[in-house]
Amino acid sequence: MLRPSLRLSHGQHLVPDSRMSRSILVIPALPFHIMLRSHESHLFSTAMRTMFIFFGMLFTLSNAEFQVSLLKESDGVVTGRFADSLLLSLPPCALATQSVTLEYNNTDTNESKTLVNIFKVLPCRFRRDIISTIENNGQFTTSRNLGYQVTNLTTGSTYRLQYVVGAEKSNILEVSTRQVKDPNQIDSGLPARSGAMVVITVILSVSMFILLVALIVTVAHSLGGD
C-alpha cells in the first residue's frame, strides 16, 4: 500500500508510535526569545505611533506665533458664547500698536470673511496700570480691556477664527455660537383655554352674579325698612 508523501519543514520530524503502525508529526514550539521579540516589536510600533501623534500636535501649535481663546468666567465675563457673537481674547501686548486682522469661516456653510484693521494691539503696561481708574464726581470708574467681540454671526453655527497681526498668526480657534429660538417665531398670544378653565370661569361668573343680586336685595330691603 502506498503512503502519501509528507513534506516536512525545518524543525519538524516524525516520531514512530509503538501502539499503531503510524508516525506522529511533531512540530516544535516557538522559542521564547522569538515571542519576546515579537512583543517588543509591537510595543515599539505603538510607542512610535504615539510619538508621531504627539509631535504632530506640537508642530501644529508651534506654527501659531501666539494663542487666542474664548473668554470665560475667569476672565471676568459670564460667557464668551452668544447666539450671534463670540468674545475672543486679545493678542499679546508684545505686538503693540500693530493692526489686527481677523479671518474666520463658517464650517457649516463654508462662508469665509476677513475683517481688516479691526483694532490695534494695546501697549504693555505695568501691573498697577492694568486697571485704569478715573475719578469722576466723587465716584470711581474702573475699566479693563478684556477682548474683542465678533458680531453678526449665525445662530447655532461652528466657526474657525484666527488673528493675523503683521506677519504673525494665532492658532485657529474652533467654536460654536449658541442655538436659540428666533424671537419672531415665539407665540406671544394667549394659549387656548382648556375645558377645566371654562368650567371654573363659568362658576366664578355665576357666583359673582348671585352675590351681586344678594347685595342689591339686601340694600333694597334695608332702604324699605327705613
Taking CA atoms, 63 is separated from 36, 104, 105, 157, in Å, by 41, 18, 19, 26
Answer whether 120's CB lies under 8 Å from 98's CB. Answer: yes
* Same domain, yes or no: 107 and 179: yes
pTM over 0.75: no
Confidence band of 192 (pLDDT split at 50, 70, 90)? low
Inside any domain, residue 225: no
With respect to residue 146, please indicate whether it lies within any of the assigned structural domains. yes
CA-wise closest residue to 93 among 55, 47, 125? 125
Residues 138-179 have pLDDT tens digits of 566 666 778 999 999 999 999 999 999 999 999 999 999 999
Domain extent at residue 36: 31-63
CB 72 within 8 A of CB 89: no
* Average per-residue pLDDT for the chain: 75
CATH number, domain of 86, equals 2.60.40.10
Q: How far is CA 70 from CA 11, 76, 91, 143, 161, in A?
A: 67, 12, 12, 20, 10
Residue 159 in domain: yes
- What integer is the mean pLDDT of 181-201? 74
According to DSSP, the residues that pair with 173 across neighbouring strands are 161
